[in-house]
């Protein structure tokens, strides 16, 4: 009887000990005791990390709210302070800072195909795959749009108009101007691509080099790097012989 009682008491003690141990154990996501926690959570405030409430800042956050009207560094050209619905004002104030060089127009064409052609079509006639599905897409080649300033097109790309959604978050200002120039020159046929000064300098150097090539045969127009001097020497000897 005493043995059975001892076994029962031992079993009960083991059971309650197991229940107590597992019920107080940490959860599966607990990383356990952290060694030197001040190495990870230092007292300095990290704006991108929030360990506890910051009593010094409003709202308890480490990050401060930017001053009203402030613009992030390098993003000044993203903001022109023209209301979204003031396309006429944008047409007057916004001026294209880029030149309509062949390189800029080529970039504009690539961007147009990616972002604009699905609605406006490859030729800008408003007959893209999306334009056929959702009517009301503007025909960019109509005479009315050929006379609007580029600032008008830029503003519409940025903020959208009518059924067109804004693309200001997808295209930076330089890309919007390139698309505007491509629409004006490439699709509407207004103006001609400008010559890039750097490319023009290279062409002039190449032309001058070709015209001053001393090894070019003036008769055949072919290069003769080794025989030119020999031919000239032979002609000189023949002339001297005739004079004698």
Token pair in block for residue 197: 């000064």
At residue 212, the pLDDT reads 35
pLDDT at 156 over 90: yes
Residue that wins the pLDDT comparison between 70 and 232: 70
Rounded Cα distance between 137 and 124, Å, is 10
At residue 204, the pLDDT reads 45
- Cβ–Cβ < 8 Å for 105, 181: yes
Residue that wins the pLDDT comparison between 26 and 132: 132
Kindly provide the residue ranges of all beta strands, DSSP E only, lying in the chain, ordered along the sequence.
none
Phi, psi of 132 (to 5 degrees): -70, -30
| Span 68-84, average pLDDT | 85
At residue 18, the pLDDT reads 65
At residue 203, the pLDDT reads 43
Burial readout 68-90 (b: 16 or more C-beta within 10 A, e: otherwise): eeeeeeeeeeeeeebeeeebeeb
pLDDT at 45 over 60: yes
At residue 240, the pLDDT reads 46
Residue that wins the pLDDT comparison between 39 and 83: 83
Rounded Cα distance between 214 and 220, Å, is 14
At residue 47, the pLDDT reads 74
Question: Of the given ranges (125-139, 144-158, 208-222), which has the lowest mean pLDDT?
Answer: 208-222
At residue 61, the pLDDT reads 84
At residue 193, the pLDDT reads 87
State the pLDDT confidence band at 21, using cuts at 50, 70 and 90: low
Rounded Cα distance between 20 and 30, Å, is 18
* Complete domains list, the chain, with CATH: 79-187 (1.10.760.10)
pLDDT at 138 over 60: yes
At residue 192, the pLDDT reads 85
- Cβ–Cβ < 8 Å for 160, 89: no
């Amino acid at each position: 009887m005493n043995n059975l009682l001892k076994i029962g008491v031992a079993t009960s003690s083991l059971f309650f000990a197991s229940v107590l141990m597992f019920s107080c154990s940490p959860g599966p996501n607990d990383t356990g005791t952290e060694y030197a926690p001040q190495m990870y959570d230092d007292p300095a405030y990290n704006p991108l990390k929030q360990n506890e409430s910051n009593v010094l800042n409003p709202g308890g956050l480490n990050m401060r709210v930017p001053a009203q009207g402030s613009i992030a560094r390098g993003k000044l050209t993203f903001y022109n302070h023209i209301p979204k619905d003031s396309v006429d004002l944008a047409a007057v104030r916004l001026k294209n800072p880029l030149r309509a060089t062949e390189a800029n127009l080529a970039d504009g064409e690539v961007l147009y195909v990616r972002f604009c052609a699905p609605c406006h079509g490859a030729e800008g006639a408003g007959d893209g795959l999306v334009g056929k599905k959702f009517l009301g897409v503007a025909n960019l080649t109509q005479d009315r749009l050929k006379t609007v300033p580029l600032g008008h097109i830029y503003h519409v790309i940025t903020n959208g108009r009518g059924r067109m959604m804004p693309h200001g978050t997808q295209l930076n200002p330089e890309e919007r101007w390139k698309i505007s120039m491509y629409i004006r020159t490439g699709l509407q046929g207004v103006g001609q691509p400008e010559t890039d000064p750097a490319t023009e300098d290279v062409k002039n150097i190449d032309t001058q080099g070709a015209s001053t090539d001393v090894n070019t045969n003036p008769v055949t127009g072919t290069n003769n790097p080794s025989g030119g001097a020999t031919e000239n020497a032979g002609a000189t000897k023949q002339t001297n012989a005739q004079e004698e």
